[in-house]
Structure 1
Amino acid sequence: MDNRNNTIAGWVLFAGVCALGLSIGSGMLFASHAPEKPGFPLEDADAGGEAESAVPLANLLAAADPAKGETVFAKCAACHTIEAGGANGIGPNLYGALGKAHGHVPGFAYSDALKSVPGNWDFASMDEWLKSPRKYAPGTKMSFAGLSSPEDRANLIVYMNNMGSNLPLPAPVELPPPGAEGEAPAADAPASEGEGETAAAPAADAAAPAAAETKQ
């Protein structure tokens, strides 16, 4: 009987040793290692993953579509109302916000970070706010990451302006025609050898009468 118990105990001990060995071996085999060269890093939306638009804001506003801006506002509707007399939600009512001070809605608990920003909501400041609230007012309670598309921001701003603000849009900036930058004026272009010789000939001919008059 003792021999049988010893045999059973021996097999149990052997099974435990095998299980421990398998656990250590599998851990070493499937251990995760950081790659020597990272693949494609993910950029934060606030880190400026999208390049700045080459089109001035005034031009984007002039071409903006308020109907598209209303569609973009659907991203804001969870926290804001925009109709006249609308109630505050997580964020303040936005009716007539453009042209007003940053903390203009009575009774709404704005963050000190936003209230401390000088000036009023104009088109440029609203564009910067919509692009990245956390960069525009560091410490703001606004959790929205921002709109990376300049066109979406312009459409939304024009829609907001139509909702109670009605500020005149800035005049579009006249842009140079495509390909005009970097072209040298024709007068500054170096003349070819043939053109140089042709241009020099009349000067020589003009000097001949003057020499004849001097001899006289």
Structure 2
Amino acid sequence: MSIRALGASGLAILIASASGASETEPPASFDPSDVAFGREVFDMCDGCHTVEPGGTSAAGPNLFGVVGRRAGSLEGYLFTEALASSEITWDAAHLDAYLADPEGYVPGTDMERGTVREPEFRRALIAYLSNLNEAASEPIATETGE
């Protein structure tokens, strides 16, 4: 069974049933397999978020280039006051804490279905998002050979 097939059933169950956020220390650089798995994890996010360069936002903001961007600053998207005034610049540590507990990390945020409780899923998702930027001189392939 492929990761994508597992993602449709097992991944959702694992994220939803995890019993709480545990802190992780995301690495400074990411393994290509983390990026590939992160792309699979992102399939659960793409109902609200897009990741295309210059793409429009959907229910949630476009996440292309999110790493290094100030929270609440993407032009053309209406953020909550809580997120816009948070003074967070997204990096691995902030993303990890936010994805583990969005409302707990930024009270007043409205990301309703964004909790990623499994540390390895957050790490992979952050690896994938970190690879989505104009500065990536050689983007890491995310094909899984399916």
TM-score (norm 1): 0.50
In structure 2, C-alpha distance between the alignment counterparts of 1:62 and 1:154, rounded to whole Å: 10
- Report the residue type matching 2:106 in the other structure: A
1:73-108 Cα deviation digits (max 9, x unpaired): 011100010011211100111110100100121121
Identity %: 35
**Letter matched to residue 132 of structure 1:** D
- Residue 134 of structure 1: CA displacement? 0.8
Q: Are 2:44 and 1:75 aligned? A: yes
Q: Does the Cα contact within 8 Å between 1:100 and 1:120 map onto a contact in 2?
A: yes
**Which runs of 5 or more structure 1 residues have no equivalent in the other structure?**
1-44, 168-216
Structure 2: any 5+ residue segments left out of the alignment?
1-14, 137-146
The structure that has the greater radius of gyration is: 1
Deviation at 1:51, TM superposition (A): 6.3
Q: Could you say what secondary structure the match of 2:45 adopts?
A: coil
Q: Which has the higher contact order (CA 8 A, sep 6+)?
A: 2
Tell me the residue number matched to 2:102. Answer: 133
Match of 1:149 among 115, 118, 133: 118
- Residue 132 of structure 2 aligns with which residue? 163
Compute the RMSD of aligned alpha carbons.
2.6
Structure whose residues are more often helix by fraction: 1
Instruction: List structure 1 runs of 4+ shifted beyond 6 angstroms.
Output: none
* C-alpha deviation, 1:58, in angstroms: 2.3
Whether the aligned pair in 2 keeps the contact of 1:79 and 1:89 (CA below 8 Å) is yes
**How far, CA to CA, are the matches of 2:111 and 2:121 in structure 1?**
19
Instruction: Report whether the alignment pairs 1:101 with 2:70.
Output: yes
2:92 matched to 1:123?
Answer: yes
